[in-house]
A and B are shown apart, each in its own frame.
Chain A
Amino acid sequence: MDNNKFVEVKNLRKVYDNGHEAIKNVSFAVKKGDLVCLLGPSGCGKTTILNILAGLLNPTSGEILFDGKSVVDVEPKDRHIGYVFQNYALYPHMTVLQNVMFPLVVGKNKKPKADAERIAQKYMELTQITELADQKPENLSGGQQQRVAIARALVQEPKILLMDEPLSNLDARLRLKIREEIRALVKSVGITTLFVTHDQEEALSIGDKIILFNDGVIQQDDLGQNFYLEPNNYFVANFVGNPVIDNFKVTKIENKLKANDFTIDIADLDQSRFKRTLADGDYLLSVRPENIFPALDGLLQATVDDVELIGRERVLKFTNDETQARSLVNLEMPIKHGDQVKLKMRLDRVFLFTPDGERVY
Chain B
Amino acid sequence: MKTNQKKAWLFLAPTIIFVTLFSIYPILRAFGMSFQSGSLIDLTWTGFNNYKYIFSDPDFWLALKNTLLYAVISVPVGLAISIMLAWIIFDKVKHQSLFETTFFMPYVTSTIAIGIVFRYIFNGDYGMLNFLLRNLHMPAPDWIDDPAMSLTTIIIFGIWSSLAFNIVILMGALRNIDPNYYTIADMYGASGKDKFWRITMPQLVPTIAFLLTMNIIGAFKIYTSVYALFNGQAGVGNSGTTAVFYIYNKFQTVGTPGVAMAATVVLFLIILFATFLQRKMMKKIGEN
Contact = CB atoms under 8 A, between A and B. Distances in A.
A106 B186 contact: no
A83 interface: yes
Given A85-B180, A89-B181, A91-B181, A102 B187 contact: no
Interface residues of B, number: 18
Interface string A66-85: 00000000001110010101
A77 B186 contact: yes
B91 interface: no
A91 B202 CA distance: 10
B180 A93 contact: no
A76 B180 contact: no
Interface stretch (B25-33, B54-62, B122-130, B190-198): B190-198
A108 interface: yes
A89 B181 CA distance: 6
A107 B190 contact: yes
Contacts of A89: 178, 180-181, 183-184
Interface string A244-283: 0000000000000000000000000000000000000000
A210 interface: no
A239 to B, nearest CB: 29
Residue from the set B188, B190, B194 with the largest chain A CB neighbour count within 10 Å: B188
Given A93-B202, A106-B194, A87 B187 contact: no
A81 B187 contact: yes
A107 B198 CA distance: 12
Contact of B189 (A56, A87, A91, A106): A106
A103 interface: yes
A102 B189 contact: no
A93 B205 CA distance: 10
Contacts of B202: 91, 93-94
Interface string A90-110: 010110000000110011110
Interface string A28-56: 00000000000000000000000000111
A107 B188 CA distance: 7
B113 interface: no
A83 B180 CA distance: 11
Nearest to B205: A93
B203 interface: yes
Contacts of A83: 184, 187
Contact of B188 (A56, A87, A93, A102): A102
B185 interface: yes
B191 to A, nearest CB: 6
Contacts of A303: none
Contacts of B10: none
A87 B186 contact: no
A106 B181 contact: no
Nearest to A89: B180
Contacts of B181: 89, 91
B199 interface: yes
Given A56-B183, A85-B184, A91 B199 contact: yes
Nearest to A51: B183
Interface string B2-25: 000000000000000000000000
Contacts of B187: 54-56, 76-77, 81, 83
Nearest to B190: A106
Contacts of B198: 91, 94, 102, 106
A88 to B, nearest CB: 9
A87 B184 CA distance: 12
A156 interface: yes
Given A56-B183, A83-B184, A89-B180, A77 B199 contact: no
Residue from the set B184, B189, B199 with the largest chain A CB neighbour count within 10 Å: B184
B230 to A, nearest CB: 44
A81 B186 CA distance: 12
B190 A87 contact: no
Interface in B217-257: none
Nearest to A54: B187
Contacts of B189: 77-78, 103, 106-109
Contacts of B185: 102, 106
Nearest to A102: B188
Nearest to A77: B189
Contacts of A54: 187
B196 to A, nearest CB: 11
Contacts of B191: 106-108
A156 B199 CA distance: 19
Nearest to A55: B187
A77 B245 CA distance: 58
Interface in A100-125: 102-103, 106-109
Interface in A109-157: 109, 156
20 contacts: A54-B187, A56-B187, A76-B187, A77-B187, A77-B188, A78-B189, A83-B184, A85-B180, A89-B180, A89-B181, A91-B199, A93-B202, A94-B198, A102-B188, A102-B198, A106-B191, A106-B194, A106-B198, A108-B191, A156-B188
User: Which 10 pairs, one residue from A and one from B, show the smallest C-beta to C-beta distance?
Assistant: A107-B189, A77-B189, A106-B190, A103-B188, A93-B202, A89-B180, A106-B194, A76-B187, A107-B190, A89-B184
Interface of A: 54-56, 76-78, 81, 83, 85, 87, 89, 91, 93-94, 102-103, 106-109, 156
Given A106-B189, A108-B191, 8 more contacts: A78-B189, A83-B187, A85-B184, A89-B183, A91-B199, A93-B205, A103-B188, A107-B194
